[in-house]
A and B are shown apart, each in its own frame.
Chain A
Amino acid sequence: MAAEPGSPAGHKGKLKIFLGYAAGVGKTYQMLTEAQELKLQSIDVVIGYFEPHGRAETIAQTAGLEFVPRRIFEHRGATFEDMDTTAVIARHPQVAVVDEFAHTNVPGAERPKRWQDVMAILDEGIDVLTSLNIQHIESLNDQVWHVTGIRVRETVPDWVVQEADEVVMVDVTPRALLHRLERGVVYSHEKAQQALENFFTESNLTALRELAMRQTAHQLEERREELRLPQPVRALDSQRQESILIWLTLNPSTAMLIRRGRRVADYLNSACTALFVARDSTMSELSAENRASVERLLNVCRNLRINPEVIESPEPAKAVAAWAREHGITQIFVTRDAPEAQKLVHLARDMQVTIVAERVRHAT
């Protein structure tokens, strides 16, 4: 995204993300250590938001740093505290520390998501240091669920993460993290016991850690492409450009399909569009519930910066194949259990069709 033409500072601030694979790996600690180092170099740095989680070592690391006071929000008689984005911008430091990038703002806040607040701060030419866990990256949502059995609700769209100028992976080994948990550094003992039994198993953590490493590596590659830095020679890159089409259906796996399609398109540097075929122009033949599902899917697309199209036809598979041919699509993505998935396979024999499976999760 280019700098907003009207931004008062004339340039965008730099975004640096401290990426971890689980709570307790030390993202916030490392971020604050960096803030302290910046302060030593006489850079004007403030804490815009900090979530202490009662961890003594982390809290100690804020010593001497200026805090922008939190703002109290009132909503239906209850009060909530959250970052005061307006005050951070008004204070206008060189660097702002904003913990928990994926946080959903309290009701009544100006913007629904913290990452949107961060974007607003960056637009003012202020650099931001923030923290993020791998499971909050939108396109990894299904894979994280597959590994941990936990469906993460607070997610950050991938394009937002790709805006980062720098992603640092905060790495400790799962064994060290488990020791920390046992010693009560991360959670209180009671909560730690629960965490150990559910999310924090050595195999879960190992898998998440591998995902974080691969994600950070991918991020570096993307960044070099963006800056047009010289890339290592790849023998197969001369191949023609791919163009991916995601066929949206009412099959429950479709949200997963959209995320997968987006991820593959990102990795292959290809265009990505989505198509829903309604059987008539008003979608009135759909029940209210189904209409809401379609709207939700279209929103999942927009959130991931995929332009969804809706067309009408009494024969969906045929219409998808024709639309794809007309638009120079090379690969169609469809869920395994979509009605007419196999029909499409045979109607689009001149293209590649990828049948995407919900990866089965067995209890371990």
Chain B
Amino acid sequence: MASKEFCRPDPEELLRQITAQEAHEARGRLKIFLGYAPRVGKSLRMFDEGRRRKKRGQDVVIGAIQRKGVDDITGLIREFEIIPPLHVGDADTIDVEAILRRAPQVCLVDELARDNPPGSKYPHRWQEVAEIRAHGVNVVSAINLQHICEQQDAVQRITGRRSANFVPQSFIQTADEIVLVDVPAEDLTHHGGKSSLSPAQLSELRELALLLAAQVVEHQLQSYMDSHGILQSWGTQERILVCITPRSSARSMLESGARAAQRFHGQLLAVYVKQGELTRAAEEAVEENLEFARKLGAEVHVIGGDGGAKDPIAQIVRFAREQRITQVFVGHTQQSSWKFWSQNPVDKLIREAEGMDVRIFPNAGVQAA
């Protein structure tokens, strides 16, 4: 088994992790409550969290309250110290400097997605939160799905509407903890008809939010594993690798891969191992396949390149382990006699790709009807 060498992160990588870890520890922790639609109760959950932390003796203040008619929270916030907002023109922004002077342990910031009035120090509220955290203050905040930049196209497809304010998903990924405020869609439509969205629309939004939360959690899991030097995949997310060669029936493999990645909400990768001199036609075939992979949203990698890789299978397996691949897709080669399987690259791959599924595709032309 060749897995030993993959268990040791290289020194550069270790250094990067340590630096990141140090910056991370000095920074205040960020906890985000994520809602999938307005009025699921994310602000309530956030203030409730603040209340429980206060009860446990932590020093908690409110940095921002959403003002739009939420009666339920009036009672909840009464017990907190509120840092008054700054007035800029006829609008309010967080008074970051006052919060930093006050230096609490925890600052509650409602509605993470807000644009500040012109003339404010930071155009967006999430930038203020980043600043507060940078000074070691923990922040608890709340946001709805439709305010996350990378989700806005999908949300608009579902609801036909698009919110003006947004936060980049990369900022959400920096959260130490994310909590999904999961309420069944029927609670929003039945009881009191709070929502103007249909059950189908709410169900789709809920699914998106769950998958986004899963993605953030996956990210946390990876950083945890990285920082503890664990190079193991738990396969909580399917990661599919399609092996491209000049001859393989790449299109059908890539289509199946994209479909599986979509259905499992996983990741699609495509890899090509450079192998010596190719004919012009073969080179074009490879390029065409890689282009098709990109079109399907695959992450494309070309590896090798020392001119005529000696052992392309070993390179693929090594790459797959580094990328925590769960399924490898590969096409049959032209030779057909299984009697010589010990030399057959497909069989070599099956033998070496321990711990991963290997799906072997028919060669173009012999595909079953």
B204 touches A346 (CB 8 A): no
Q: A342-B341, A342-B350, A359-B235 are in contact. Are A267 and B204 (CB under 8 A)?
A: no
**Is A302 an interface position by the 8 A CB rule?**
no
B179 touches A236 (CB 8 A): no
Per the bound structure, the CA–CA distance linking A66 and B106 in Å amounts to 41
How far does the Cβ of B179 sit from chain A's closest Cβ, in whole Å?
6
User: Per-residue CB proximity of A201-245 to B under 8 Å, as 1/0?
Assistant: 011001101110110110011011000011010101101000000
User: Per-residue CB proximity of A4-34 to B under 8 Å, as 1/0?
Assistant: 0000000000001000000000000000000
**Is A132 an interface position by the 8 A CB rule?**
no
A210 touches B180 (CB 8 A): no
**Is B368 an interface position by the 8 A CB rule?**
yes
B234 touches A342 (CB 8 A): no
**Is B346 an interface position by the 8 A CB rule?**
yes
How far does the Cβ of A341 sit from chain B's closest Cβ, in whole Å?
8
List the A side residues contacting B149 at CB < 8 Å: none
Chain A residue at minimum C-beta to C-beta distance from B180: A171
List the A side residues contacting B336 at CB < 8 Å: 346, 349
How far does the Cβ of A129 sit from chain B's closest Cβ, in whole Å?
12
How far does the Cβ of B318 sit from chain A's closest Cβ, in whole Å?
16
Chain A residue at minimum C-beta to C-beta distance from B175: A173
Chain A interface, number of residues (Cβ within 8 angstroms) = 62
How far does the Cβ of A356 sit from chain B's closest Cβ, in whole Å?
5
Q: A214-B265, A234-B262, A354-B357 are in contact. Are A346 and B366 (CB under 8 A)?
A: no
**Is B67 an interface position by the 8 A CB rule?**
no
List the B side residues contacting A342 at CB < 8 Å: 338, 341, 347, 350
A349 touches B366 (CB 8 A): yes
**Is A350 an interface position by the 8 A CB rule?**
yes
Q: A146-B235, A214-B211 are in contact. Are A229 and B199 (CB under 8 A)?
A: yes
**Is A182 an interface position by the 8 A CB rule?**
no
B362 touches A236 (CB 8 A): no
**Is A169 an interface position by the 8 A CB rule?**
yes
A236 touches B255 (CB 8 A): yes
Of A202, A203, A206, A345, the contact of B360 (CB 8 Å cutoff): A345
**Is A347 an interface position by the 8 A CB rule?**
yes
User: Per-residue CB proximity of B311-354 to A under 8 Å, as 1/0?
Assistant: 00000000000000010000010001110010000110010011
List the B side residues contacting A203 at CB < 8 Å: 221, 224-225, 228, 230
**Is B186 an interface position by the 8 A CB rule?**
yes
**Is B276 an interface position by the 8 A CB rule?**
no
Q: A146-B235, A347-B338, A350-B368 are in contact. Are A224 and B263 (CB under 8 A)?
A: no
**Is A352 an interface position by the 8 A CB rule?**
yes
Q: A207-B221, A217-B210, A239-B259 are in contact. Are A345 and B182 (CB under 8 A)?
A: no
A232 touches B157 (CB 8 A): yes
List the A side residues contacting B203 at CB < 8 Å: 220, 223-224, 229
Chain A residue at minimum C-beta to C-beta distance from B225: A203
**Is B260 an interface position by the 8 A CB rule?**
yes
A352 touches B359 (CB 8 A): yes
**Is A255 an interface position by the 8 A CB rule?**
no
User: Per-residue CB proximity of B216-256 to A under 8 Å, as 1/0?
Assistant: 01101100110010101011110000000000000000011
B221 touches A353 (CB 8 A): no
**Is A305 an interface position by the 8 A CB rule?**
no
Chain A residue at minimum C-beta to C-beta distance from B337: A346
Q: A345-B350, A353-B360 are in contact. Are A202 and B262 (CB under 8 A)?
A: no
Of A170, A207, A347, A355, the contact of B236 (CB 8 Å cutoff): A207
List the A side residues contacting B125 at CB < 8 Å: none
B265 touches A206 (CB 8 A): no
**Is B258 an interface position by the 8 A CB rule?**
yes
**Is A325 an interface position by the 8 A CB rule?**
yes
List the B side residues contacting A141 at CB < 8 Å: none
List the A side residues contacting B232 at CB < 8 Å: 362, 364
A345 touches B180 (CB 8 A): no
**Is A82 an interface position by the 8 A CB rule?**
no
A349 touches B332 (CB 8 A): yes
Chain B residue at minimum C-beta to C-beta distance from A16: B184
Per the bound structure, the CA–CA distance linking A203 and B226 in Å amounts to 11
**Is A351 an interface position by the 8 A CB rule?**
yes
A230 touches B200 (CB 8 A): yes
**Is A288 an interface position by the 8 A CB rule?**
no
Per the bound structure, the CA–CA distance linking A216 and B258 in Å amounts to 22
B200 touches A229 (CB 8 A): yes
How far does the Cβ of B226 sit from chain A's closest Cβ, in whole Å?
11
How far does the Cβ of A117 sit from chain B's closest Cβ, in whole Å?
23
**Is A103 an interface position by the 8 A CB rule?**
no
Chain A residue at minimum C-beta to C-beta distance from B259: A236
Per the bound structure, the CA–CA distance linking A23 and B209 in Å amounts to 23
List the A side residues contacting B259 at CB < 8 Å: 236-237, 239, 268
Most buried by A among B154, B186, B214: B214
List the A side residues contacting B260 at CB < 8 Å: 267-268
User: Per-residue CB proximity of A142-170 to B under 8 Å, as 1/0?
Assistant: 01001100000000000000000010111
A contact set with B: CB distance below 8 Å: 16, 143, 146-147, 166, 168-173, 175-176, 202-203, 206-207, 209-211, 213-214, 216-217, 220-221, 223-224, 229-230, 232, 234, 236-237, 239, 260, 267-268, 325, 330-331, 336, 341-343, 345-347, 349-360, 362, 364
Which 3 pairs between the two chains have the least Cβ-Cβ distance? A346-B338, A229-B200, A213-B214
A to B CB contacts below 8 Å, 7 in the list:
A169-B182, A171-B180, A203-B221, A207-B234, A330-B368, A342-B338, A357-B353
Apart from the given pairs A220-B207, A330-B368, A345-B346, 7 other A-B contacts in the complex at a CB distance below 8 Å: A220-B206, A230-B200, A239-B256, A342-B341, A349-B336, A352-B360, A352-B361
